Amino acid sequence: MIEIASQVSLQGYNTLALPACAEYFCSVTSEQQIAQALDYARSHNLQVTALGGGSNLLLAGDIAGLVIYLDLRGINCVDSCKDSVTIEFAAGENWHKAIEYCLQQGWYGLENLSLIPGNMGAAPIQNIGAYGVELCDLFVSLRAINIATGEVLIMDRQACEFGYRDSIFKHKYSNCYLITQVSLELWAQPQVNLQYPALAEALAAESEPTPEMVSAAVCAIRSAKLPDPAQIPNAGSFFKNPMVDAEQLKSLLADNPKMPFYSADNGWSKVPAAWLIDQSGFRGLRSGNVGVHRDQALVLVNFGGTGAELLALANRIQSEVLERFAIALEIEPRIYGQS
């Protein structure tokens, strides 16, 4: 039987180290235990919140209802041919450790996503991406349990409606499913993806870069660029990079000729949110017990404050950027406990 505790502190369960309590909390290691937890929630009329590594959460206050920490484990190869393998990962597997394990087995393709914090089950929620690769590039399917009915659903890539840091789980299916397993198709032969300029530059001296070298290079770049949440609590990129259409880009460039941008699909361009925040004067700013990292304007940090303080700072940044550039920044972490 699962153990359900009440008034459990979540401060150690979120990388921003924000103080907040779960009204009820349990940890589950199997689908059977998930069924028990959902039965409990239904019979006590509790809303359910899924919790993984807590690296993409903003806990603005206590969370009402039952928080379920998904701790299912297991990595299995279920299909293989000369060039590819299909691997099933249980939701509670740590993302980076899973990549290390895959490299040891000779399963390739995830290296560019090395060192992203969090667990496997959350990876499809925002279609995690970095250094030229997104989860959806390797995704086959996922297994999820409907929170309201307990029914199991298998969803393929199309059904997940992946986009830039986006999926159906942020919209139509928001807080509707618990993902228990993710299946990915990986390469059985070493291949590398060096499309991302900083990565190509880092490995320029290697005549035959290996997947292991790519993983190590990504880890080195990330460690140099991003603050470690264990030392300075943060949730990585706090805002999504906004997309602007051709007309808005033209008018922005007329006023800000040095504004960086990257061409995306269908005439849209991506503007680095970090640049907009920096230009608005927030980089390195400290406001009470929260602030903006001094080197990375996109990373909001917690010096011992609350989720409400952090959210107030985020809203201040959004207002200033909107006023200066007419761009509405979207917060990337999922916000919970907001009254």
Ligand X SMILES: Cc1cc2nc3c(=O)[nH]c(=O)nc-3n(C[C@H](O)[C@H](O)[C@H](O)COP(=O)(O)OP(=O)(O)OC[C@H]3O[C@@H](n4cnc5c(N)ncnc54)[C@H](O)[C@@H]3O)c2cc1C
Closer residue to ligand X, CB minimum distance, 148 or 246: 148
User: Which positions ≥6 away from 263 have C-beta within 8 Å?
Assistant: 269
Binding segment for ligand X among 2-10, 230-238, 270-278, 307-315 (CB under 6 A)?
A: 230-238
Contact residue for ligand X among 4, 66, 99, 235 (CB under 6 A): 235
Smallest gap from Cβ 2 to ligand X, in A, equals: 16
Q: Using an 8 Å Cβ cutoff, are 56 and 118 in contact?
A: yes
Tokens representing 217 are: 């290079």
Tokens representing 221 are: 């770049």
| Helices 211-225 and 95-105: angle between axes, nearest 10 degrees | 160
Smallest gap from Cβ 266 to ligand X, in A, equals: 22
Contact residue for ligand X among 18, 125, 221, 285 (CB under 6 A): 125
Residue (of 112, 115, 118) closest to 138 by Cα position: 112
Q: In 22-64, where does DSSP find H-type helix? A: 31-43
Smallest gap from Cβ 289 to ligand X, in A, equals: 18
Q: Using an 8 Å Cβ cutoff, are 324 and 316 in contact?
A: no
The Cβ of residue 130 has, within 10 Å, a number of other Cβ atoms equal to 18
Angle at 29 between CA 60 and CA 13, to 5 degrees: 25
Site for ligand X contains 122 (CB under 6 A): yes
Using CB under 6 A, count the residues that bind ligand X.
34
Site for ligand X contains 20 (CB under 6 A): no
Closer residue to ligand X, CB minimum distance, 101 or 248: 101
Residue (of 120, 127, 119) closest to 53 by Cα position: 119
Contact residue for ligand X among 61, 236, 291, 307 (CB under 6 A): 236
Contact residue for ligand X among 116, 192, 298, 313 (CB under 6 A): 116
Site for ligand X contains 123 (CB under 6 A): yes
The Cβ of residue 161 has, within 10 Å, a number of other Cβ atoms equal to 17
Residues 34-93 that bind ligand X (CB under 6 A): 49-57, 70, 91
Binding segment for ligand X among 78-86, 128-136, 204-212, 266-274 (CB under 6 A)?
A: 128-136
Site for ligand X contains 130 (CB under 6 A): yes
Q: Using an 8 Å Cβ cutoff, are 333 and 56 in contact?
A: yes
Binding segment for ligand X among 34-42, 112-120, 148-156, 309-317 (CB under 6 A)?
A: 112-120
Contact residue for ligand X among 117, 209, 211, 305 (CB under 6 A): 117
Site for ligand X contains 129 (CB under 6 A): yes
At residue 310, the 3 state secondary structure works out as helix
Binding segment for ligand X among 21-29, 33-41, 121-129, 268-276 (CB under 6 A)?
A: 121-129
Closer residue to ligand X, CB minimum distance, 54 or 325: 54
Give the CA diameter of the chain.
Answer: 64
Site for ligand X contains 179 (CB under 6 A): yes
Tokens representing 102 are: 């895959």
* Residue type at 178 in one-letter notation: L
Contact residue for ligand X among 25, 102, 112, 121 (CB under 6 A): 121
Site for ligand X contains 334 (CB under 6 A): yes
Residue 283 to residue 273: CA distance in whole angstroms: 12
Q: Which residues pair with 224 in a beta bridge?
A: none
* Active site residue ranges: 165, 237, 332
At residue 7, the 3 state secondary structure works out as strand
> Which residues are at the interface with ligand X (CB under 6 A)?
15, 49-57, 70, 91, 116-119, 121-123, 125-126, 128-130, 165, 177-179, 226, 229, 234-236, 334
